């Protein structure tokens, strides 16, 4: 039986991942904030989008796009997820290498378990580096210089973390950073022996990129040491990043058309996102605000979006609403947890196969031909 029969959808990989991970790791990966209304709204908003088919106009689907100076095989990329190393040691490098082979972007988080220097070579010069804005300008300049030297091409500045979120499910699971090996955590780890063996061999993951700058995290908190470095950026902060980075710059965390208009002159692309429902419970989903943001910035500004993507259909829905590219983090991490490196390949395969099937139904040769084809 091949993988398509056992795991035909990303939801099948998610179920397998949940069985293979300790509970506290699953809670970290899967949780939102508050009662998770924002996370649920992401999927509900996508489910409400109906796409118009086009018959009598057959087309040979080609999902390739051009964005930020590169040709990509799909309008899909791997979003930054902090501490991916909790899922599997070496997760960031595995995903970067897999994305490079598949011809899609991979975005490394500032709070990854591997450094830009370790991951950059695997991106083949087309990686994206996500920056949580440091308060100290010298720290910012050093992080950007490290990422550029490591081979990262595109900078993604996250602007929607003005304050730490609570993420109550993580608190209930007693997950701390740095991790404390309490009896509860050890018991949960014992229930996932393959995961535990890999962690024993590799060591507990740490925020290695930030270790040269960050004070030790306070014990007993679910907030990581990176919060001690961060500042809520303004437009002048974005201009400083623009001056210090010589590649494409993406502003991530836009939900308001007014913010999009203010950020557009500084950015090469805008990323519409509510942080996967992990920051602000009352935030709207990207799918709900994309049309207004597209109208506000015009057709020429590249828009990236995330939030609740579970299939190639969801990718096409976001494109139809105004995005040029859709990003997802959880789905590919579920693949990694379920099947190791080949699970990342399989997650990308699932997205590609679904996208091609739906483009055929819509009579679309290129993904952008779905733009605006939303039934109302």
Give CA 249 to chain center in angstroms.
16
Counting DSSP H helices and E strands in the chain, the numbers are: 16, 12
Q: Is 275 a catalytic residue?
A: yes
Dihedral-angle region of residue 296 (phi above 0 means left; psi in -120 to 50 means alpha; beta otherwise): alpha
Chain centroid to CA 43: how far? Answer: 15
Q: What is the DSSP string of 273-320?
A: --GGGTS-TTPPPHHHHHHHHHHHH-SSS-EEEESS--SHHHHHHHHH
Preceding peptide of 178 cis, ω within 30° = yes
- The catalytic residue among 70, 224, 275, 346 is 275
Q: What are phi and psi for residue 258, nearest 5 degrees?
A: -65, -40
* Pairwise CA distance, residues 176 & 24, whole Å: 10
Cα separation, 90 vs 21, in Å, equals 16
Find the distance separating the first CA and the last CA of the chain, reported in whole Å. Answer: 41
CA distance 341 to 244: 35
Residue 126 near residue 105, CB atoms below 8 Å = yes
Instruction: Count the Cβ atoms, other than its own, within 10 Å of residue 64.
Output: 12
Residues with catalytic function: 275
């Amino acid at each position: 039986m091949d993988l398509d029969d056992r795991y035909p959808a990303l939801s099948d990989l998610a179920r397998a991942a949940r069985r293979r991970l300790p509970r506290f790791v699953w809670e970290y990966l899967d949780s939102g904030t508050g009662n998770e209304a924002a996370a649920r709204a992401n999927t509900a908003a996508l489910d409400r989008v109906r796409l118009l088919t086009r018959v009598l106009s057959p087309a040979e689907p080609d999902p390739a796009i051009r964005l930020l100076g590169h040709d990509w095989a799909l309008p899909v990329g791997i979003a930054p997820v902090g501490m991916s190393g909790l899922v599997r040691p070496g997760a960031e490098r595995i995903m970067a290498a897999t994305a490079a082979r598949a011809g899609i972007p991979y975005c490394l988080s500032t709070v990854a378990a591997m450094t830009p220097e370790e991951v950059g070579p695997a991106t083949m010069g087309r990686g994206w580096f996500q920056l949580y804005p440091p308060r100290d300008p010298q720290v910012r300049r050093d992080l950007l210089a490290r990422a550029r030297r490591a081979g990262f091409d595109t900078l993604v500045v996250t602007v929607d973390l003005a304050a730490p979120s609570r993420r109550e499910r993580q608190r209930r699971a007693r997950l701390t950073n740095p991790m404390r090996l309490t009896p509860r955590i050890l018991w949960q780890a014992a229930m996932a022996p393959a995961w535990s063996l890999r962690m024993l061999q590799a060591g507990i993951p740490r925020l290695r990129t930030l270790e040269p700058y960050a004070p030790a995290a306070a014990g007993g908190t679910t907030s990581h040491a990176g919060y001690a470095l961060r500042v809520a950026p303004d437009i002048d902060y974005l201009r400083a990043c623009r001056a210090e980075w010589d590649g494409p710059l993406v502003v991530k965390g836009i939900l308001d058309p007014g913010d999009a208009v203010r950020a557009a002159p500084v950015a090469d692309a805008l990323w519409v996102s509510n942080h996967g429902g992990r920051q602000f419970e009352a935030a709207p989903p990207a799918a709900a605000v994309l049309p207004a943001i597209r109208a506000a910035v015009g057709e020429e500004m590249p828009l990236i979006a995330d939030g609740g993507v579970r299939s190639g259909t969801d990718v096409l829905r976001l494109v139809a609403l105004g995005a040029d590219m859709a990003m997802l983090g959880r789905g590919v991490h579920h693949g990694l947890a379920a099947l190791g490196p080949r699970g990342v390949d399989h997650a990308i395969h699932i997205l590609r196969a679904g996208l091609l099937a739906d483009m055929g139904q819509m009579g679309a040769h290129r993904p952008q031909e779905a733009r605006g084809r939303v039934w109302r």
